Chains A and B, each alone.
Chain A
Amino acid sequence: MQIISKSLTFSYNEKANFSRRALDGATLTVNEGDFFGIIGETGSGKSTFIQHLNGLIPLQSGTLTVGEFNLTVPKKRKEKKAFLKSLKQLRSKVGMVFQYPEYQLFAETVREDVAFGVKNFFPNASQEEVDFKVKKAIELVGLDYNLVAEKSPFDLSGGQKRRVAIAGVLASEPETLVLDEPVAGLDPVSKKRLMSLLHTLHDTGVVKTVIIVSHDMNDVMENCNRVAVFENGKVVKECEPKSLFENYDDYALSRLGLPVTAYLTKTLKGVGVNVESSYKIEDFTNKLIEKYFENR
């Protein structure tokens, strides 16, 4: 599914005149198959934007299409009703993982919690079908089904809870997965694992498109094939991570902090060492080592 947003504008308090716009003409295209990164300072409108993608926030102005789906809210009452009904179908296709998703767990067992979405989206599915999907999703996120299925989700560790929450979204087999700061608050190891999990899901075609929101330049640089930079509700840049990297003198980017590799390239250049830029830390290190031995 291709996602096209044009001049999306949104303000949380339409009536109050003091309200700043959370989105102020965000224009952006996400193609099917992308591993898309959204970065921006805090308050730049990232979360507000992604909540539009499955109709959790109704469009105020601008246009947004997600696949076949046009998210403009119809004016006529009857059409509006039909539109609101059809949102459910959209939501089954665009899975949304909120920030700190572990806080939305509620059921008595992990199995039931993961089944929640499946039962909502496929009310006619048989018990076997539901169980199958649930098991698959729990295993997809790298948890041992036999070990966790009958446990209370509240007895799990933070990282495990987050996996269960992600499984709860994956279980209804969305085509597009949207994650709002999925690694926030995780330790480096869990962080790495979660990112590689997302890559596996993407590479094996379990989900076709992944959109992740992040504060961290490095995350985005290393993982995404396209990136959008949000600032004050606008998309100020939409490009490949590499070209983001080349423009690190840009004001908006400099405020987000340089990725480690960009910082090193820049600093080394300052003392007369020219290393070819590269945005994966591993590649960069290799190049640096090569350079070192060259000079010897």
Chain B
Amino acid sequence: MLQDVTFGQYYETQSFVHKMDARIKLLALILYVVLIFVVKNFYGFLVVGAFLIVATIFSRVPLGAMLSSVKGILFLILFTVLLNVFFYQAPNETILFWVVSVESLTFAGFMALRLITLVLGSMLLTLTTTPVALTDAIESLLSPLKVIKFPVHELALVMSIALRFIPTLMAEADRIIMAQKARGADFDSGSLVARAKAMIPVLIPLLISAFRRAEELGDAMDSRSYSSSAVRTKYKKYRLTYRDLIGSIICVISLAGVILLNVYAGGIV
């Protein structure tokens, strides 16, 4: 069923990482991404790996859920590796055979590690943070932009509404698919073009229903005099705790570690 394709993949449990402030986690992810891109050698990845392992253990998320994300981009990884193996060129290569050299293999492995750790890190964020908390965090982090009249609140509203309606639309799509299957529609056979065409009887009703829902929601908000310019308080207050402090410290230490290793162990890039 389509509904199984969960979005955000939040994994419900109680853990250190779950209880951290979403803003800190988001900032930590940004730092983490930076980290992955400044890493210049494999020692650096030891630090990144250690960071990931510690974070995963403290998030109490099952390993399977984490690794499933890598499965999703396996093709991309394979593609990157192949491209790099065949097209990477270094000044004085140690050719193994044909165009494959020690350097190109090393570099390809390096890129694969980058991709994998990148996905695992972002996966950890979505597994431990509800979409609602994430939207709130984005709104809070972007709020300085209000000074230059950037519609931060509206942006967050749009995001949370979109997230809210994903499961609803998935369920709706399931229903429509069933209804069209009952009328003999065939979604699983035929050429790619035929299959794409077969989706039309699903997409049109789905689109119509999405518009209908949007209109209804708009009316409902209007009838409650909703206005985005109103000054409002938050139902949920987010407060920083010792967890956020510890989390931040670990992130900073990791970044420092990688930079030091870059300087002292040199780079392969």
Residues in A lying within 8 Å of B, measured CB to CB: 12, 51, 54, 56, 84, 88, 91-92, 95-96, 98, 101, 103-107, 116-117, 120-121, 154, 168-169, 172
Contacts and interface: CB of A to CB of B under 8 A. Distances in A.
Contact of A104 (B1, B186, B188, B205): B205
23 contacts: A51-B178, A88-B186, A91-B182, A91-B183, A92-B184, A95-B182, A103-B176, A103-B205, A104-B176, A104-B179, A104-B205, A105-B205, A106-B202, A106-B205, A116-B183, A116-B185, A117-B183, A117-B184, A120-B186, A168-B183, A169-B182, A172-B183, A172-B184
Contacts of B175: 98
B141 to A, nearest CB: 34
B200 interface: yes
Given A95-B182, A104-B179, A116-B184, 6 more contacts: A51-B178, A88-B184, A88-B186, A98-B175, A116-B183, A169-B183
Contacts of B200: 106
Contacts of A88: 184, 186
Contacts of B201: 104, 106-107, 116
Contacts of A54: 182
B187 to A, nearest CB: 11
B171 to A, nearest CB: 11
Nearest to A92: B184
Interface of B: 1, 175-176, 178-186, 188, 200-202, 204-205, 208-209
Given A104-B176, A106-B200, A96 B182 contact: yes
A156 B131 CA distance: 39
A120 B201 CA distance: 12
Contacts of A172: 183-184
A34 B167 CA distance: 38
A246 B132 CA distance: 53
B185 to A, nearest CB: 6
B182 A56 contact: yes
Nearest to A119: B184
A84 B205 CA distance: 25
A55 B181 CA distance: 10
Contacts of B188: 84
Nearest to B175: A98
A101 B186 contact: no
Contacts of B180: 104, 116
